[in-house]
Structure 1
Amino acid sequence: MKTNEERMQDILEHLDGLRYIKPDSIPNIDLYMDQVTTFMDKHLSDTKRYTDDKVLTKTMINNYAKNNLLPAPYKKKYTKEHMLLLIFIYYFKNLLSFNDIELLFNPITEKHFNPSNGMPLETIYEEIFSQEETELKRIKSDILEKYQHSCKTFEDKGVEGDDLEYLQLFSWICELSFDVYVKKQVVEQLIDSLGEDQAFNKKK
């Protein structure tokens, strides 16, 4: 059985290997759905929990379009802008509901998806993901700090050996989960506020 220290090292190695999809790696030609799913599965494979998980399927893409998360393809082909939106959706879909993602993306698709003037979606994507390296450093530091704190828990409770190792692992997971829980609430509160703004603007 792995020790918690070994688990910590595995996590740091995994985080070191994470890379976002750079815009210049996305084809500048429009793609059919099969080509889209193949591309996404290849470039986001490191983020999958299980080897046989699918990053993106035809059903998923159709559901995104049905729920107004993704503009309809042009002659059954998907543009680079579609691909950029799909990458954003991939990261958000395990955190937010379709309704929340739609509210968040409405201004993006209305103003920056193939805009006649103004900032293109690719520029927004580049700006957001340019922060990846700095943000990952902060996240790694926070995970390590929580791990080190968990190593001090239960030391004076009369447990030892495998039981102590497990309880400290449980403590570490709880700390990480509470952090995610609180931040998810903050994100939902911000999106609710955005929804109120959008509803107000429609009434004008």
Structure 2
Amino acid sequence: MKIDSKDLLNSILESLDHLNYIPLDEIPNIDLYMDQVTTFMEKGLSPTKRYEEDKILTKTMINNYAKNNLLPPPLKKKYSREHMIVLIFIYYFKNILSIRDIEQLLQPLTEKHFHTDAPLQIDQIYQEVCELEKMQIPDLKEELQKIYQKSEESFSDAPDEYREDLKTFSFICSLSFDIYLKKMIVERLLDDLSDSTSK
């Protein structure tokens, strides 16, 4: 049985209403060992997994992030709340950015706001960024509906037997193009950031 694309869109839009980040007050404010960190991340970020067998963050990944300067090293093999927040950022960024780009993006954050006496600490930055992202969801839903509507109007001359697949293909292409453009913008911002810090 073929899935109705309108039903699929409604399901996606409804899921956006339940999209959430790990609330700051749920991130432990005590230092944790590696096993505790991976357990916490698995529990907190499991709703973002596409497949049940997918791993959120493994010990190897976390060790590599520390070796590659994405994550400040643990203190006496323990990870602080600030480490957990940086790991959450890494988890989301790694789906769209290279390791080098993530390092460049996070370096000023960890240098200036990680266990320092800066006026803004990493937990405050995390809270503000998450609230800002949550506020974007209504606009995102509206944008998705517009893209869907345009794709529904595409391939109007195609034979009925091909049209549904072509409309779905058109919808996916439009969404992918949007992601591609935004990724290019992010990379350009990172390049400009690199240029300004190297001067």
- The TM-score range, normalised by the shorter chain, is over 0.9
1:164/1:111 CA distance change after superposition, 3 Å: same
Indicate if the aligned counterparts of 1:84 and 1:122 stay in contact, CA closer than 8 A: yes
Distance verdict in 2 for CA 1:150–1:117, change over 3 Å: closer
Sequence identity (%): 53
1-side partners of 2:7 and 2:118: how far apart?
Answer: 52
Deviation at residue 158 of structure 1 after TM alignment: 3.6
Query: Counterparts in 2 of 1:16-165, with a 5 A limit?
Result: 16-155=17-156, 157-161=157-161, 163-165=162-164
Tell me, in whole angstroms, the C-alpha distance in 2 between the residues paired with 1:106 and 1:158: 51
Residue identity opposite 1:54 in structure 2? K
Which residue number in structure 2 is paired with residue 196 of structure 1? 195
Distance 1:152 1:66, change over 3 A: same
In structure 1, what is the equivalent of residue 16 of structure 2?
15
* Aligned-partner SS, 2:136: helix
The correspondence of residues 165-184 of structure 1 with structure 2, limited to 5 A, is 165-184=164-183
Retained in 2: the 8 A contact 1:31–1:79?
yes
Q: Which blocks of at least 5 consecutive residues in structure 2 are unaligned?
A: none
Q: Aligned partners of 1:89 and 1:125: how far apart in 2?
A: 12
Q: Could you list the runs of 5+ residues in structure 1 that have no partner in the other structure?
A: none
8 Å Cα contact 1:3-1:165 kept in structure 2: no
Stretches of 4+ aligned residues off by more than 3 angstroms: none
Aligned length in residues: 198
TM-score with structure 2 setting the length: 0.96
TM normalised by structure 1 equals 0.94
How far apart, CA to CA, are the structure 1 residues paired with 2:118 and 2:183? 34
CA offset digits 1:161-190 (Å, max 9, x no partner): 4x2111100000000000000110010000
* Cα distance change on mapping 1:158 and 1:93 into 2, 3 Å: closer
Work out the CA distance in 2 between the residues paired with 1:182 and 1:92: 16
1:116, distance to aligned residue in structure 2 (A): 2.3
Residues 73-92 of structure 1: CA deviation (Å, up to 9, x unaligned): 01111000000000111110
> Given residue 75 of structure 1, which amino acid in structure 2 is its aligned partner?
K
Equivalent position SS for 2:88: helix
CA positional deviation for 1:72 = 0.3
For the residues of structure 2 that align with 1:95 and 1:87, how far apart are their CA atoms? Answer: 14
